[in-house]
Amino acid sequence: MASLPGVGRRTALRLVLHLLRQSDQDVEAFSNAFTRLKKEVIYCRECHNISDSELCPICGSARRDHSTICVVENVQDVMSIENTGQYSGVYHVLGGIISPMEGIGPKDIEIDSLIERVTKGGVDEIILALPTTMEGDTTNFYIYRRLQNAGSDIKISQIARGVAVGNQIEYTDEITLGRSIVNRTEFKG
């Protein structure tokens, strides 16, 4: 238990003691759930999101715009963007971002399959929605170069960066504030 992220020794002990108080049956069901989790969850062959069938519900939906691909780091990001209700295209889950510090290179994540998906045709735009960190920027730039090299001329955009909604200027961090002034946008009444 203590090997799980965010679960320390004391919490682990509490959870284990809780399980000991349950019936044999319940504990077995609990235990089997993990084996099934690993066995039965599959990844969508198009976008690599978790799925229960070969094609995830988003990729399989005729109501989604399949000409726009939003590139994200992981499955949680798909859920976050779906929760906004502002996006009707499809996704591509990289399963990580390029990070020399952690030894993650372009080959370790789903970049080749993204380039393949785009060059296959039918895609008008990709939206880079990676973290606004150095690793995210590196990955953005790598994807951009790969698409250029592949002779692709689709539109490449990235999510807007700047001061978050509801924020006061004086409490915004200096780097964000500085960039949001440099990258200011036209005010459209």
The DSSP bridge partners found for residue 42 are 51
DSSP string, 99-154: BGGGTB-GGGTTHHHHHHHHHTS---EEEE---SSHHHHHHHHHHHHHHHHTT---
- Nearest approach, Cβ of 6 to its own copies (angstroms)? 14
Residues that bind its own copies (CB under 8 A): 70, 72-74, 76-77, 79-81, 83-87, 127-133, 140-141, 144-145, 148, 155-170, 172-187, 189
Paired sense of beta strands 50-51 and 42-43, if any: antiparallel
- Nearest approach, Cβ of 64 to its own copies (angstroms)? 14
Closer residue to its own copies (CB): 101 or 175:
175
- Nearest approach, Cβ of 100 to its own copies (angstroms)? 18
- Nearest approach, Cβ of 2 to its own copies (angstroms)? 24
Q: How far is CA 149 from the centre of its chain?
A: 24
Tokens of residue 74, six digits: 């992981």
Closer residue to its own copies (CB): 17 or 165:
165
Element (H, E) at 155: strand 155-158
Nearest by Cα to 4 from 66, 12, 180, 85: 12
Closer residue to its own copies (CB): 12 or 96:
96
Closer residue to its own copies (CB): 39 or 189:
189
- Nearest approach, Cβ of 40 to its own copies (angstroms)? 24
Closer residue to its own copies (CB): 12 or 154:
154
Tokens of residue 153, six digits: 């001329």
